[in-house]
Chain A
Amino acid sequence: MKKIEAIIQPFKLEPVKEALHRISVQGMTVTEVKGFGRQKGIREVYRGMEYQVDFLPKVKIEVIAPDDKVQTIVETIMNVARTGRIGDGKIFVYPVAEVVRIRTGETGEAAV
């Protein structure tokens, strides 16, 4: 099992969710996050005072999947979330040691 963690542009959340639904992903966790990468910050102006805002709003999606589905999921997110402009985000894949469904006590892939 793997955890796929994708940091994407906030406005791409809905299309990515729809696309993952279509390839039968059963669940996901979504967090509003802030950060910066190569895009760096933006400038905001309040009553003429200019501020460099380094941390930009992004959305983090976490999906747990069996090993054989990981490639499809990563490709789906990549295709849907891409605009081709700087700031599209990144995808990380981590190994998952164990999954437990709290209600039934099922473990492993049955609990995903």
Chain B
Amino acid sequence: MNAANTAFVLVSAALVMFMTPGLALFYGGMVRGKNVLGTLMQNFILIALIGVEWALFGYSLAFGPSIKGIIGNLDWAGLAGVGAAPFKAYSDTIPHSAFMVFQMMFAIITPALITGAWAERLKFSSFLIFIVLWATLVYDPVAHWVWGDGGWLKGLGALDFAGGTVVHINAGIAALAAVLVLGKREGYGKEAFIPHNLPMTVLGAGILWFGWFGFNAGSALAADGLGTSAFVATQLGASAATLSWCATEWIVRGKPTTLGAASGAVAGLVAITPAAGFVGPLSAILIGLGAGFLCYLAVLAKPKLGYDDSLDVVGVHGVGGVWGALATGLFASKAVNAAGANGLFFGNPAQLGIQALAVLTTLVYSFGLSWILLKIVDAVFGLRVSREDEVAGLDLTEHQEAGYSL
């Protein structure tokens, strides 16, 4: 046991928790004013809902004793046996319950990321049902494969420092399934869908950036050199992506935008997440530069691809996540983290193949199962609000409130 590590992980858990309200503001500012509360609520309620799910059975499914590397069993349901004593396979220097609560915050923000895709049209009751199914049947198994003791992707040597596959690719591709099942918003392509409060979005991006230090540096699970290296890589990845997104749109459209700067920061944070504890500072800058450029192009391509991903979850988290996971296979270096592996640029091309396998598996599993779950919830309960309710706005029709009076 180590008091410094325990303090660091608990503070990191609180930082990651703060990302979800940050994400709510990031998304809330981008929707129209009549849907601001509906958007904030879908994020805020997840802090509570997944918090309980995680304690009851989610943590046990994701991190409990492994059933053939596929999923954890229910030995730790209700947090049985998860207490002050460390669990050595995850960390022998912090209480097992500190690791559990740190991971809880990841389980909360991952489904919250998807809410940007279906913003402005999903029924709240169906949202709750789908999200509990998704957390249990998609998130928990994928987290087990990559991070769980005995998980099969972990066994293959796939590198994912803080959640590129588990969190971002997983949420990004589920978002694609969701927008394909749900269809476009009423008036999409005909009316102007202008963000109602970009200062809120910029503040949200700032909170995400701040909280992300807990997300990435905290994933070292120790207040040490590796945690610091991940902290530095996080800052550099986000910075480089902010610059490259703005530079690209300046060249393509003639003006750098604040929404572009905020989006670029998030894209960079997404891409550096799997790599943070495995790459040096210059690699982090290159990963960030690539993320801002690629995610901006993905967002530009959306109207041509014909789906209505309201707030670009696919373009930012899906594309940024895939780039980050593959880039980890390019830039990882044992000089940074001896427990990791070398990537293609450090003489180990096989790592890129392992990364690609982890990416592909997550894409296929998460897309397929998300699509099936959405179809089931749609058939039984209906996913979308009525046309009239959508036009009136979800704040009033789903929550009987208004975001702004006067």
List the interface of chain A (C-beta within 8 A of B).
44-49, 51-53
- The answer to whether A45 and B263 have CB atoms under 8 Å apart is no
Interface size class of B (residues with CB under 8 A): 10 to 19
| A27–B249 alpha-carbon span in the complex (Å) | 47
In the assembled complex, which residues on chain B have CB atoms less than 8 Å from the CB atom of A45? 253, 255, 257
Distance in Å: Cβ of A57 to nearest Cβ of chain B = 13
B259: CB under 8 A from chain A?
yes
| A99–B152 alpha-carbon span in the complex (Å) | 83
- The answer to whether A48 and B253 have CB atoms under 8 Å apart is yes
In the assembled complex, which residues on chain A have CB atoms less than 8 Å from the CB atom of B260? 47
For chain B, residues 244 to 302, give those with C-beta under 8 angstroms from any C-beta of chain A: 249, 252-253, 255, 257, 259-260, 263, 296, 299-300
| A41–B194 alpha-carbon span in the complex (Å) | 14
Most chain B CB inside 10 Å of its own CB: which residue of A44, A46, A47, A49:
A47
- The answer to whether A47 and B259 have CB atoms under 8 Å apart is yes
Partner of B312, one of A44, A47, A53: A47
- The answer to whether B194 and A46 have CB atoms under 8 Å apart is yes
Majority SS at the chain B contact face: helix
- The answer to whether A47 and B299 have CB atoms under 8 Å apart is yes
List the interface of chain B (C-beta within 8 A of A).
192-195, 249, 252-253, 255, 257, 259-260, 263, 296, 299-300, 303, 312
| A59–B297 alpha-carbon span in the complex (Å) | 39
In the assembled complex, which residues on chain A have CB atoms less than 8 Å from the CB atom of B303? 49
In the assembled complex, which residues on chain A have CB atoms less than 8 Å from the CB atom of B249? 48
Partner of A48, one of B192, B194, B296: B296
In the assembled complex, which residues on chain A have CB atoms less than 8 Å from the CB atom of B193? 49, 51
In the assembled complex, which residues on chain B have CB atoms less than 8 Å from the CB atom of A52? 192
5 smallest beta-carbon distances between A and B, as pairs:
A51-B192, A48-B300, A47-B299, A45-B253, A46-B259
Most chain B CB inside 10 Å of its own CB: which residue of A44, A48, A51, A52:
A48
| A34–B344 alpha-carbon span in the complex (Å) | 57
Partner of A53, one of B194, B255, B257: B194
A selection of 18 A-B contacts at a CB cut-off of 8 Å is: A45-B255, A46-B194, A46-B195, A46-B259, A47-B257, A47-B259, A47-B260, A47-B299, A47-B300, A47-B312, A48-B249, A48-B296, A48-B299, A48-B300, A51-B192, A51-B193, A51-B194, A53-B192
In the assembled complex, which residues on chain B have CB atoms less than 8 Å from the CB atom of A53? 192, 194
Most chain B CB inside 10 Å of its own CB: which residue of A44, A49, A51:
A49
Q: Name the residue on A nearest B303 (C-beta).
A: A49
Distance in Å: Cβ of A48 to nearest Cβ of chain B = 4
In the assembled complex, which residues on chain A have CB atoms less than 8 Å from the CB atom of B194? 44, 46, 51, 53
Distance in Å: Cβ of B199 to nearest Cβ of chain A = 14
Distance in Å: Cβ of A63 to nearest Cβ of chain B = 24
